[in-house]
């Protein structure tokens, strides 16, 4: 590539800057004669303080301004956490590279180092993710879950505050490792087959203008094909089940040397009253077929009831409340939404 300077767009959060520096370091190693300059762009998502408002705004709030700058040629590429990316990119943009994925799992950081399985009943766990909230309620029925918004430092401060009612928080392992490294607090890695990660979690993507062949060649040394294949399957399932709403869906795929991609998925009702799990395997070259098979299994097992509730503005559980539980502490199962005369009720 003839240009000697490349403008790399990024959000201004500490984690985004750390991830962009990681990308730039890899690019600099591959192209020592090219200067890569980070360009900080504040996004709509950075301005939203409420976790509820953030969910209503949708995934694009963390990328739209970066994409606008890319289309207007103010930057040459943009670094994103892939889990923040909508399943469809704007016309004129495409992924130029997907880096090798970091740890995809979530981690639990307990107050004074306690693990999630040792929390006393009705302990409060904080997280801003609807997926994490729903899966936590379904998987750990004795705990209570509440919204917790903010960057990693602010969430840790809220956890460790003298008046904190939090027993722990759940965050992405990759973000914790990239931002804090060896200085990260004691944490518990949550099994991916229990708390299934978000689509694309742990992976970084570099977005470029479509057809920009020189930029694609520049990024080729840091592109990781197995990760790209895995996240393609994850995003394909998310697209099929999204339906225009933020869904409590976890999906994680791994591409093997045998040419197969193995995908597991879990969806839970926001209040934890339903939990659906499925797995499928297919060709690494046809991720959409694997996603289609998983979609069928998920719908056959009750995903439509959860999706319908979300689309009609289904009732969200109150913060730190699990009032739907039976006396034995286990969530009720099999509840579904029934529509009558334009209104939805639970049965």
* HSE toward the beta carbon, residue 10, CA cutoff 13 A: 23
Residues 327 and 289 in one domain: yes
Whichever domain contains 292, its CATH number is 3.30.160
Backbone angles phi, psi at 250, to 5 degrees: -110, 135
- The answer to whether residue 229 is domain-embedded is no
Residues 217 and 262 in one domain: no
Residues 143 and 270 in one domain: no
The residue whose two tokens read 């999906």 is 251
Backbone angles phi, psi at 222, to 5 degrees: -105, 0
Domain count within the chain: 3
Q: Which of 84, 106, 147, 271 is catalytic?
A: 84
Domain span at residue 172 reads 106-189
Rounded Cα distance between 196 and 132, Å, is 9
- The answer to whether residue 231 is domain-embedded is no
Residues 113 and 174 in one domain: yes
- The answer to whether residue 48 is domain-embedded is yes
Residues 70 and 209 in one domain: yes
Whichever domain contains 155, its CATH number is 3.40.190.10
Residues 110 and 79 in one domain: no
Residues 84 and 213 in one domain: yes
Residues 291 and 341 in one domain: yes
What is the pLDDT tens value at each position of the chain, 347 positions in all?
Answer: 566 899 999 999 999 999 999 999 999 999 999 999 999 998 765 554 555 555 554 566 678 899 999 999 999 999 999 998 999 999 999 999 999 999 999 999 999 999 999 999 999 999 989 999 999 999 999 999 999 988 888 999 999 998 999 999 999 999 999 999 999 999 999 999 999 999 999 999 999 999 999 999 999 999 999 999 999 999 999 999 985 568 999 999 999 999 999 999 999 999 999 999 999 999 999 999 999 999 999 999 999 999 988 877 644 444 334 444 433 444 444 444 333 333 444 43
Residues 275 and 129 in one domain: no
- The answer to whether residue 197 is domain-embedded is no
- The answer to whether residue 230 is domain-embedded is no
- The answer to whether residue 15 is domain-embedded is yes
Q: Is 84 a catalytic residue?
A: yes
- The answer to whether residue 155 is domain-embedded is yes
Task: Enter the pTM of the model.
Answer: 0.84
**Secondary structure letter of residue 63 according to DSSP:** T
- The answer to whether residue 235 is domain-embedded is no
Residues 117 and 256 in one domain: no
Residues 81 and 26 in one domain: yes
Give the Å distances, CA to CA, from 306 to 208, 267, 324.
Answer: 35, 8, 15
Residues 341 and 273 in one domain: yes
């Amino acid at each position: 590539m003839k240009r000697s300077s490349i403008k790399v767009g990024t959000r201004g959060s500490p984690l985004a800057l750390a991830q962009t520096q990681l990308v730039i370091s890899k690019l600099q190693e591959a192209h020592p004669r090219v200067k890569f300059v980070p360009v900080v762009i504040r996004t709509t998502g950075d301005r939203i303080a409420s976790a509820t408002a953030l969910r209503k705004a949708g995934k694009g709030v963390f990328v739209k301004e970066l994409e606008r700058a890319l289309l207007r040629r103010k930057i040459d590429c943009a670094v994103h956490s892939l889990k923040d990316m909508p399943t469809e990119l704007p016309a004129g943009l495409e992924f130029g590279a997907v880096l090798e994925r970091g740890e995809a799992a979530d981690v639990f950081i307990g107050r004074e180092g306690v693990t999630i399985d040792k929390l006393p009943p009705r302990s409060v766990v904080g997280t801003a993710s609807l997926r994490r909230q729903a899966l936590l309620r379904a998987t750990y029925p004795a705990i209570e879950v509440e919204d917790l918004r903010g960057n990693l430092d602010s969430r840790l401060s809220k956890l460790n505050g003298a008046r904190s009612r939090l027993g722990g928080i759940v965050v992405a392992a990759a973000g914790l490792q990239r931002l804090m490294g060896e200085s990260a607090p004691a944490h518990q890695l949550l099994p991916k087959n229990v708390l299934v990660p978000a689509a694309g979690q742990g992976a970084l993507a570099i977005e470029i203008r479509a057809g920009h062949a020189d930029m694609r060649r520049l990024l080729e040394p840091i592109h990781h094909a197995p990760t790209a294949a895995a996240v393609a399957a994850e995003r394909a399932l998310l697209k099929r089940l999204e339906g225009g709403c933020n869904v409590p869906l976890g999906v994680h795929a791994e591409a093997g040397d045998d040419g197969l991609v193995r995908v597991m998925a879990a969806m839970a009702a926001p209040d934890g009253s339903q939990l659906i799990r499925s797995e499928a395997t297919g060709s690494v070259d046809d991720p959409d077929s694997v996603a289609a098979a998983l979609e069928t299994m998920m719908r056959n097992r009750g995903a439509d009831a959860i999706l319908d509730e979300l689309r009609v503005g289904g009732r969200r559980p109150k913060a730190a409340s699990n009032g739907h539980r039976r006396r034995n502490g286990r969530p009720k199962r099999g509840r579904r939404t029934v529509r009558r005369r334009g209104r939805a009720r639970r049965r």
